């Protein structure tokens, strides 16, 4: 089955990063091949059409004003954006008490303060100021060297929260940020390095408003658009299990065939890149790293309604709180269709409990929380779509990977360093907006550019 042909570059993984790398190389005249393990391209950029005509995004969906590369891509493919619906009051539920307020907080806060006690609010926001200061002081780039790095990397975020907050609300404020929103994960605060959480806030901060806009038709339309000019170069259903390299040759062996190439770009989450057998073995630092870099724990649930019923009640469709299952949900309704869509997230230990239940119990659990946030009308949904990223073996979780303590300071440099003819891409490798489409594009572009220089 093996061919004697030698490609210029094989790209493994047809998520956004791999597609961008492949497209750029193809446009440059390189002889490429894209191998994708799944039966579809797109990775975490994947959509679905509902019977109502509304689209939903099962993976990422938003774009923000400082995500240049993604904005460029959207312009190139003429995908139109619209402001994320946010008019109206936000909802906070804390320990069973429900507040509607004309403000918001995702770490930094805006507008009116929710109805928690002054002591609770000051506790959270004063600790946030401390956290932000520590975060601002980190050096540029991946945080694997520098004065305080090892020290910050020796604690969990949970330890820092315990040492720096006094109230249950203050504790939850950070836990929620880590578990549901980001800090580049998400993760439980007990499992993530303090350094990683600080870094996540520095390079992908909510204060830059990364969820400012949504896309008419959804992000899921993009993979086919990007792939259209080189679709004959893509093979799906071809998991790669072995890469042999040395003496200027690379052999890539999939479950279907084997291929020869000059260079290879591996555009996969790092733990999955670690599943491939490399001959010879990769340097120990890299092998050790890929054992220590788990994906975040998060399922996305998309619930659609005839219309955005919450707006009649003066609500924005954005709600947060320490409910039993859903700590964050957001209005994802496209004004062109008139359909109401709520995107809800079940993350961390909540997810781990939730996934032990039956499908109908999981649905009831989410709907029950949506009723608490938005009222009983939340029970009258049209469609319910659960996207269980942690059980997808070719992704392994969502939104992105995170670093447990000790990993950045001992082996962070191995995250993106190329090894001989092997280059890495994927949003996890980015030092700006990792876990976002922006990070996927940046690393895909960079890997393609590195390989192009070598092919010249």
For the annotated binding site for FAD, the residues are 17, 36-37, 240, 428
The site string for a second copy over 86-125 (x = CB under 8 A, - otherwise) reads: ----------------------------------------
Q: Which is nearer to a second copy, 97 or 241 (CB)?
A: 241
CB 22 within 8 Å of CB 230: yes
391 binds a second copy (CB under 8 A): yes
Q: How many residues bind a second copy (CB under 8 A)?
A: 55
Residues 290-309 that bind a second copy (CB under 8 A): 291-295, 297
What sign does the dihedral 112-114-119-120 (CA atoms) show? negative
Q: Which is nearer to a second copy, 404 or 420 (CB)?
A: 404
Q: Which is nearer to a second copy, 191 or 331 (CB)?
A: 191
Residues 27-86 that bind a second copy (CB under 8 A): none
Q: How many CB atoms are closer than 10 A to CB 153?
A: 24
Integer Cα distance of 396 and 421 in angstroms: 26
Q: Which is nearer to a second copy, 109 or 394 (CB)?
A: 394
Tokens representing residue 257 in the block: 């065939």
366 binds a second copy (CB under 8 A): no
434 binds a second copy (CB under 8 A): no
271 binds a second copy (CB under 8 A): yes
What sign does the dihedral 313-110-164-156 (CA atoms) show? positive
Q: Which residues have C-beta within 8 Å of that of residue 142, sequence separation ≥ 6?
A: 408, 412, 413, 415, 416, 431
- Min. distance of Cβ 73 from a second copy in angstroms? 29
Integer Cα distance of 192 and 406 in angstroms: 10
Start-to-end CA distance of the chain, whole Å, equals: 30
Which residues are annotated binding-site positions? 17, 36-37, 240, 345, 428
355 binds a second copy (CB under 8 A): yes
Nearest to 393 by CA among 101, 39, 94, 68: 39
Residues 236-255 that bind a second copy (CB under 8 A): 239, 241-242, 255
Kind plus residue range of the DSSP H or E element containing 33 = strand 32-35
Which residues are annotated binding-site positions for substrate? 345
Q: Which residues have C-beta within 8 Å of that of residue 189, sequence separation ≥ 6?
A: 156, 157, 158, 161, 174, 175, 178, 179, 197
- Min. distance of Cβ 14 from a second copy in angstroms? 17
Residue ranges in contact with a second copy by CB under 8 A: 150, 153-156, 158-159, 162, 187-192, 239, 241-242, 255, 271, 274-275, 277-278, 281-285, 287-288, 291-295, 297, 349, 351-352, 355-356, 388, 390-393, 396-397, 404-407, 409-411
């Amino acid at each position: 089955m093996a061919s004697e042909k030698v490609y210029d570059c094989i790209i493994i993984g047809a998520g956004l990063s791999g597609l961008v790398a492949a497209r750029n190389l193809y446009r440059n005249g390189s002889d490429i091949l894209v191998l994708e393990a799944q039966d579809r391209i797109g990775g975490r950029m994947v959509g679905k059409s509902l019977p109502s005509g509304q689209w939903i995004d099962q993976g990422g969906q938003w774009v923000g004003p400082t995500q240049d590369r993604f904005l460029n891509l959207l312009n190139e493919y003429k995908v139109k954006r619209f402001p994320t619906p946010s008019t109206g009051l936000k909802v906070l539920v804390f320990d069973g008490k429900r507040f509607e307020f004309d403000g918001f907080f995702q770490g930094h806060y805006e507008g009116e303060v929710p109805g928690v006690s002054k002591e609770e609010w000051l506790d959270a926001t004063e600790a946030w100021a401390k956290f932000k200061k520590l975060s601002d002081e980190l050096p540029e780039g991946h945080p694997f060297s520098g004065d305080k790095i090892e020290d910050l990397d020796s604690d969990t975020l949970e330890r820092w929260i315990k040492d720096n907050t006094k109230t249950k609300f203050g504790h939850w404020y950070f836990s929620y940020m880590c578990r549901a929103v980001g800090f580049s994960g998400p993760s439980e605060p007990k499992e993530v390095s303090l350094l990683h959480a600080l870094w996540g806030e520095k390079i992908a901060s909510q204060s830059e408003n990364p969820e400012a806009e949504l896309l008419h038709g959804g992000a899921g339309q993009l993979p086919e658009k990007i792939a259209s000019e080189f679709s004959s170069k893509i093979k799906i259903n071809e998991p790669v299990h072995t890469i042999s390299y040395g003496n200027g040759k690379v052999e890539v062996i999939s479950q279907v065939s084997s291929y020869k190439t000059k260079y290879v770009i591996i555009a996969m989450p790092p733990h999955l890149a670690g599943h491939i057998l490399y001959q010879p073995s990769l340097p120990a630092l890299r092998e050790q790293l890929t054992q220590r870099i788990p994906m975040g724990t998060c399922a996305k649930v998309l619930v659609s309604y005839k219309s955005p019923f919450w707006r009649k009640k003066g609500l924005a469709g954005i709600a947060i709180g320490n409910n039993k299952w859903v700590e964050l949900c957001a209005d994802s309704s496209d004004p062109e269709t008139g359909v109401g869509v709520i995107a809800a997230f079940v993350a961390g230990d909540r997810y781990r409990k939730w996934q032990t239940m039956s499908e109908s119990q999981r649905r009831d659990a989410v709907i029950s929380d949506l009723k608490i946030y938005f009222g009983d009308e939340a029970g009258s949904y049209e469609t319910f779509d659960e996207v269980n990223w942690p059980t997808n073996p070719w992704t392994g979780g969502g939104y992105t990977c995170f670093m447990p303590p000790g990993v950045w300071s001992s082996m962070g440099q191995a995250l993106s360093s190329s090894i001989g003819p092997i280059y890495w891409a994927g949003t996890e490798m980015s030092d700006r907006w990792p876990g976002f489409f922006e990070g996927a594009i940046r690393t895909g572009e960079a890997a393609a550019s590195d390989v192009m220089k070598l092919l010249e």
